[in-house]
Structure formats: C-alpha cells, structure tokens
Structure 1
Amino acid sequence: MGVNPQSLRGSNTGVYVGATHTNAGEGYPDYPQSDVDGSIDIALFQILHSSQHLFANRISFANDFKGPSLMVDTACSSSLSAMTLAYNDLMLGNTDAAIVCGTYMVFQPFLTEIQVEAGICSPRGVSAVLDESADGYVKSEAVCCLFLQRRQDARRVYSHVVSARVNVDGRKKAGMFYPSADTQEQLMRQSCKLAAIDPPSLTYFEAHATGTKVGDLQEIKAIYNSYCEGRTELLPVGALKSNMGHSEAASGVSSVVKVMIAYENECIPPNINFNKLKTELKRYFPPLLAVTEKYPYNPVQPLHKKRADA
C-alpha cells in the first residue's frame, strides 16, 4: 500500500473485522479452580482476550488507531459487510482510512461433521462449484485484510471501490436459510444504479458460489438477470471457493484479494473441479462463461455511464 504503518499511529483509522466462530468455545476455560493460585486471573484473561468483541479492538489498541473499531458477524457475508461499513464511513467523512479484515479458522471439527450430515458440506471433500457433481461446500481457513483510503491520499491504487451495499432476504416461504435470487438481483441492480454502472458493460463477476445444491442456482440466476440483458459479450464468472474452499466469514475479502491479484496479472485463474455444468444452470451459459482455464483479462475498460469518483 506504500504507507508506513507507524505513520498511521494516532490517526482516525477504522478497523472492521468480519468473523464468526471463535476458538475454544468463546474463550471460556475448563473448570477454573478457585483454590489454585492465579487460576481466576488466567480464566479472566482467556475470556476477555478470546472474545469476539476484541478482534478489532486489539488491532486498534496495538496500532493506536482512533477510528471506529468493531466486529461484524453476518455469517458468510461478514467480511464484505464489514467492508461496506468501512466504505460508508469513509464516504461520510467519519474516518480517514480503514482496515477491513476477514478471518475464519476451524478450531471445532465437530461443526464440519454436523454440516456433512446435514448435507451442507461435501462428504467427498471436493469443492465442485457449478459442476453437476456438486454436493456441498468444503471448509477452508483464511486470515486476510484490505487497506481502504481515499484516492487522493493513496500512493498505490490496486482497485477502486465504487459501490458497497448489503441487504437481507426478509421472510421467505422456503425457510430462513434458503437463498433468494430476487433479493440478490435487487441488490445488484441498486448497486449498479447508485454507482452509475451500466450492467451489460460489466466484464467479470467473482461469484460467492459455494458448491451447494441450491445456493449456486439462485446466485447464477440473479447474476444472469442483473447483467445479461442487452449483453453482446460473454461474462466470465469466477469462483475462488473452487480453488481454496469456503472460508466463510473471510470469504468476501478473500475474493476481493483474488480479484486484485487477477487485475495485477491481467489473468483470471481457472475454477477447478469443473467437468460438467450443472443441468439447472445450462440456460444461463452462455452468455455467462465459467472460467475453466487461464483467462486473459484487462480490467481497464469503461464500466460507467458517467464518471462517479468515490
């Protein structure tokens, strides 16, 4: 980023961390014994310093940041929800810079066992995003972060955030955990409209795409409806989770990092474990294109109907 971290000490820099599960059951120790000297102090230290609310605060404390410091838990969208809050605070002038983090570590293997039994995770341990054989997602671990600042303050620019929004499906007849293509489409259209982006001009889409039986279908439908009306070119669709699995709370920021690496190298890496397109998705491909081999890509192309600087 070209910025000496020491120069940020005492600054109005915000820290926004997206995370879900914590280690060791929220940090609570096993059987603290009041008759063992120092055991209560140790237990208090473990509880306080392993709690989720300190994930962001510890970063702010160690670096003497004075901006907002908060932890965001919206399940798999946690880190991108954190990024949305960070972006909005920058746009409103509440902060001068922001550190957006996403983290997920698998400290409790029994969760994977339960999700395999429930049909959420792949019993084969294969992340076959968009493929006919997809039978659930594969858990992965990630710790990653982004540094956001206004363009005029930046020494290096890897990408430009032009819109960041969140929504939720609301009440659905199919159940709380069933994704809604209609709501996803609504959010995509709103984001493009506010950023003055012409949807058919989009040149690449990095999908959430986990490899679940229902989720991929709903998301691809939303992408097709949002960006393919009037489109004359193919729209490449990438899926980081095919390469590294689903890092849940960290998956959003992980995907942003992937896209920036693709920008820098002018090449989109292929989705792996893809052999046969899922039958229910065939009506959307083309104009959507599953990236199955190295895809040359030049990100410097016009997306906007009019210029909209962040």
Structure 2
Amino acid sequence: MAPNILDNKAQEEQITDPSILNGRFLANPPPGEEVCVTGVSGVFPNSEDVHELRHNLFNKIDMVDGDTRRWEPIHPEVPQRTGKIPNIEKFDAGYFGVHHRQANSLDPMVRIFLEKTVEAILDAGLHPSELEGTKTGVFVGSCFSESEKDWFFDNVEPQQFGITGCLRSMIPNRVSYFLKLNGPSHITDTACSSSLYAVENAYSAIRNGICDMAIVGGTNLTLHPFVSLQFARLGVLSQDGCCKSFDATGNGYARSEAVTCILMQKAKDSRRIYAKIVHAKTNCDGYKEQGITYPSGETQKKLLQEFYKECDVDPRSLSFLEAHGTGTKVGDPEEANAIDEVFCTGRDTPLLIGSIKSNLGHTEPASGLCSITKCIIGLEEGVIPPNIHYSKPREGVKALEEGRIKVVSEKIPLQDDRGLMGINSFGFGGGNCHVLLKWNTKVKVNGGEPKDDLPRLVCISGRTEESITSLTDDVNSRKLDAEHVQLLHEIFKKDIESHQYRGYTIASKSGKVKTSLKKYYGERPSLILAFGSFEESWQEQCRHLFVVPVLPQLFIGSTIY
C-alpha cells in the first residue's frame, strides 16, 4: 500500500523529480520497517566510552588536551592542542583471532573499531553469533590513515603485514571477516562528512532490502604532525586549539580523534531502540567559483529543503539541530544562513543549535557519528548537552544576532514532546549530509521496575575479572530494571568464545544480594537448582517456589546431607 499512497501524494503535488520520489519512499516505511539506532559505542578524546562522554558533555569539560601530544613540538605552524583518545596501544588480539605479527602491523583504527563494533552489538542486546551469516552491512567513514607512512615506507622489515593491516578497506572488512557477515562492507570517504554519509548509505541499503541490519562507524586518529601542518596551511585550524562554534572569536578548529560505532536495525527486529532514523539524504556542491574547499550555503539549503519535503516533516518542528559548526570564519556563517532560511522562517521560538566540536574538537570523518552519539545522549536524558567556548554571536550572522537561532551553552531540557533532532555534516570537498532522528516514544512499564519483589539473577561472562566486576557493579548501581536484565540475558544466553571468566550477581529492588566470579576452564556445567533444609517441610518449600516463573530445561532436585 505504501508506494501507491506515495504515488498519489506525489501526483497531487505534481512532483516528478525521481530523487524526491525515491526519498519519499525511503522516508515512509510501513510499520516495523523503520530504521532505528539500537546500539552505540565509541572512544572519544579523554572519554573511554559513551558513559564518560556523557559526563564530560554535561559537565562542560574541554576534552581537547593541551598537556600531552603524540609528537614533539617540531614546527611553529602546528597547533599543539589536539583531542586524543586513551589506550591507543591496546588490543585483545586473542579474542579476535589475529596472529601477533598481524596484530603488530594493524592500523590502530582497525584494532579499535573491531572492539567498538563488538561493544555496539552487545549494547543492542545481541549475542555476536546472532549476526553470523546474515545480510549485515559494514559502512565506515574514514579519510586517511596517518600510520600508512610507517608501514609502507619506513617499517619494511620481513614478516610484517602492512598491506593487510593498514589499507583503510580493512577497517570494515575485518569486522565482516570476524563476524562472518554476508552484507556489503566498504569505506566511505567524503572528508568531514564521511561517517554521516556512511549512515545514509546504511539507511538506504536497509530500506532497499540490501541489508537486514548495518554496522556503521567513523574513525580518525591524529598520529603525524605533518598532516596537521597541511590543515594549518589550509587555514582551518585554530592556533589556540579551541573550536569556538558560532562564536564571534571563532578562528578555526582543533583536530581530534574518535572511533565510533552504531548498530542500525529495523524496528521489528530491535531489542532496544535509542532513536528512529526518520530520513537521511546527501548532495554535493559541485563547482564553486570560490574553490573546491569553500562551503556552499545554497547547496546546503537545497539539501535541507528537499529533505523535509521528502519525509513530510515541518522543519519548524525541530526540537534541536546539531550543526556542523567547525568554528571557521566561512563555514559557520554559510551554515547558519542556510539554517535560518529553512528552519526559522515562520518559527515562533528560537531554534536551539549546538556542535559537539566545541567540546571535543573536530574528529573530521568521525564527526557525524560523534554528533549522533551526542543527540542520543540528549534524547535518553531529555536534556540537550551544552556547547563550550561560546559567549558572543558571530558578527554578520543575523539569525544569531537577532535571536532566531540560539546556541545551547547551558544544559536545557527538551522544550517539546516531539523529540526531533536534525544533524548536519559537510565535507570540505562539497559532500553534504543531513540526518533526522526521532526519539523512541515507548514508555517503560512502571519505569522498568518489576511488579513483583523477586530478585533477579544475572549471569555474565568476560575476558578478565575486571570485565565481570564492571558489569555487575553497573547492574547494581542502577535501580532494578527488568528490561535491562532481559537484554543481559539475551547477550549471555550462549557462550561467547574466549570468555574465560564467569560471574553472576543477584540484584533486587533493595540492592545487591550477592555477587560472585571465577575463572572457568572446562565444559560449561548444566544448571541445577537445589533446595532443601531441615527447618521447613518440602510442602512449604514448594509453596515458596510457586512465585518463581517456570524456566525451560531446569532440573530441580533436593539437597542431600
């Protein structure tokens, strides 16, 4: 029925542009076919995971580090403040079955993205083996590897595997290889819009039936000072290492690192939904008199106008817009003027905007997914994370000066119940992308708290003792949530290969009851629940057990003293 309805609507509006018609098809799926973000993971500057990123965003912590560098100060044109992710040297090669020689020749982006992919899958409540043999695509936005010089030209010793370790195609391909996936697997490179282009590629692939689900990533590491030197000479870097998005003192951005990953699934297949992807669309500037790196506000405006026509959403209804917002003297005004014309014409209240680049710098090809992660944090908390380095509107941008656009510089609760967040991402070669997220309208029954008073047993596994304790501590730090416990049950319902530690926690409404862990060597034992005592009769014991739901394949026996 959906295509006929769309065709009738197009005829009524006399739309003949095939691109618009296809966009309408993509943005109007039947129930259950909506594309959703179901798992999120990542490592960010001075943030080991999304939880730490959330803390840093809401506490207005500048994540761009000026105290340590990946190189010595070798050139006066290279800004010394860059955003750096932690633990770049670590990799669990054994878990991924990578030979130590290959592991030592792997680009750090390949290693880290493998780990973050597994985290995103677990975050979605999936056991990794459930993806084996499926039409799951892997789409990664990445521009270039700053470690290629070492492996291809400097470190050419025998028994090194630079070709299979540092080609950027290996970032998605090793994920497909490890998880035994049958979907498309490729790199997207459109400069700074690469990872949001990857989201659009994945969205279209799922809606067109090419994929059942998609792993989408963005990677960027700043490992060589001469790359930063080239950006500095391009005139886009801030010498003070601060990205002052939309501020009057904005003079460029700080380069930064991130490796991010999301899992995208159809609503009907999802166990957890962070947000629905209402629509995703791209276009390109093409020729510009000012030069290939000059951002075209007119082309950005055209993209936004077509986007909201296709998904049939009033652009004035946005709750928040996560802008590209690099803090450059040309980029911010061009983007702000396009935003003003599309979103603010006829709007009654100021449009709230922001840019995560003010908080953690510009992660270039990974920046689009960093913005999506920020928006998901905002949707989950019901609070928009604030920008930093903003005090005065950039001169000449009327929408900012006259108050039609307002940069969020303090935490602000979402002002409406629509939960619509737009995300802009523009590449300096002309690749533009826009994505619209809508929050999950599902409300937890009883706030997730069980209606009964029974404690919940959560059994987990891990590679180290620390992995067990971190998970059990996380469970016990929250109020008892039946849906969260169910996700953990789904993840650990089968063995995860190479997990040598087993543990459990028994959680209740009043807090932790018991936690235990041990190293595991042999075959997994059958689960036996034993009961009995001298104090109570067997009839009384059975009466207590009537409140416990029946579990399949559970042997109940009596203790023998």
TM-score past 0.5 threshold: yes
Partner of 2:375: 259
Distance 2:129 2:216 in 1: 18
In structure 2, the CA distance between the partners of 1:131 and 1:302, relative to structure 1 (3 Å rule), is closer
- Structure 1 residue 302, shift from structure 2 partner: 7.5
- Residues 119 and 135 in structure 1, CA contact (< 8 A), matched pair in contact too: no
Which residue in 1 is equivalent to 2:414? 297
* 1:48 pairs with one of 161, 164, 169: 164
**Could you tell me how far 1:283 is from its partner in structure 2?**
3.7
Match of 1:80 in 2: 196
Bigger radius of gyration among the two = 2
Check if 1:220 corresponds to 2:343. Answer: no
Name the aligned partner's letter for residue 28 of structure 1: F
Following superposition, the deviation at residue 299 of structure 1 comes to 6.5
Whether the 8 Å CA contact 1:266–1:299 is kept in 2: the answer is no
Q: Does 1:4 align with 2:120?
A: no
Does the Cα contact within 8 Å between 1:263 and 1:299 map onto a contact in 2? Answer: no
Question: SS state of the match for residue 160, structure 1?
Answer: strand
Residues 1-150 of structure 1 mapped to structure 2, 5 A cutoff:
1-25=124-148, 27-30=151-154, 32=156, 39=158, 41-42=159-160, 45-150=161-266
Contact 1:29/1:47 (8 A) holds in 2: no
Q: Is the 8 A contact 1:262 1:269 kept in 2?
A: yes
Task: Give the superposition deviation at 1:286.
Answer: 1.6
Out of 227, 249, 259, the residue aligned to residue 365 of structure 2 is: 249
Shift of 1:54: 1.4
Secondary structure of the 2:302 match is helix
What is the CA deviation profile of residues 240-286 of structure 1, one whole-angstrom value per residue up to 9, with x for unaligned ones? 00000000000001100100000001111111011211111244442
Name the CA distance, whole Å, in 2 between partners of 1:299 and 1:99: 31
Question: Could you list the per-position Cα deviations for residues 170-213 of structure 1 after superposition, in whole angstroms to 9, with x for gaps in the alignment?
Answer: 11111111101110011111111111111111111000000111
TM-score normalised by the chain length of structure 2: 0.51
Query: What CA deviation, in whole Å up to 9, does each residue of 1:40-95 have, x standing for no partner?
Result: x42xx112221012111001001111100001111000001111110000000111
Query: C-alpha distance in 1, partners of 2:293/2:174?
Result: 33
Structure 1 residue identity aligned to 2:278 = V
Counterpart Cα distance in 1 of 2:240 and 2:229: 12
- The one-letter code matched in structure 2 to 1:21 is F
1:177/1:118 Cα in 2 relative to 1: closer, same or farther (>3 Å)? Answer: closer
Shift of 1:300: 3.6
The SS at the match of 2:353 is strand
Cα deviation digits, residues 102-143 of structure 1 (max 9, x gap): 010001122212322442100111111111111111111000
Question: CA–CA distance in 2 between the matches of 1:245 and 1:168?
Answer: 24
Aligned-pair identity in percent equals 39
User: Does the CA-based 8 Å contact 1:29-1:46 persist in structure 2?
Assistant: no
Alignment of 1:183 with 2:307, yes or no, is: no
Alpha-carbon distance, 1:24 to partner = 2.1
299 and 87 in structure 1: CA distance in 2 versus 1, 3 angstrom threshold: farther
Alignment partners' CA distance in 2, 1:17 and 1:59: 11
Is the CA contact (8 Å cut-off) linking 2:399 and 2:405 kept in structure 1?
no
> What is the match of residue 269 of structure 1?
385
User: In the aligned structure 1, how far is the partner of 2:308 from the partner of 2:342?
Assistant: 9
Q: Tell me, which stretches of 5 or more residues in structure 1 are unaligned?
A: 34-38
CA positional deviation for 1:31: 6.5
Structure 2 CA distance for aligned equivalents of residues 262 and 77 of structure 1:
21
Aligned 8 A contact 2:202 2:214 in 1: yes
- Name the residue aligned to 1:36: none
Higher relative contact order (CA 8 A, sep 6+): 1
Say what the alpha-carbon RMSD is for the aligned residues.
1.7
User: For 2:171, what is the secondary structure of its paired residue?
Assistant: helix
* Residues 132 and 278 in structure 1, CA contact (< 8 A), matched pair in contact too: yes
**Which stretch shifts more, 231-240 or 22-31?**
22-31
Task: Classify the secondary structure of the residue corresponding to 1:28.
Answer: helix
- Whole-angstrom CA distance in 1 between matches of 2:418 and 2:326: 28
Moved over 3 A (4+): 282-285
Q: Partner of 1:212: helix, strand, or coil?
A: coil
Number of the residue aligned with 2:516: none
Return 238-247 or 124-133, whichever deviates more.
Answer: 124-133
TM-score by length of 1: 0.91
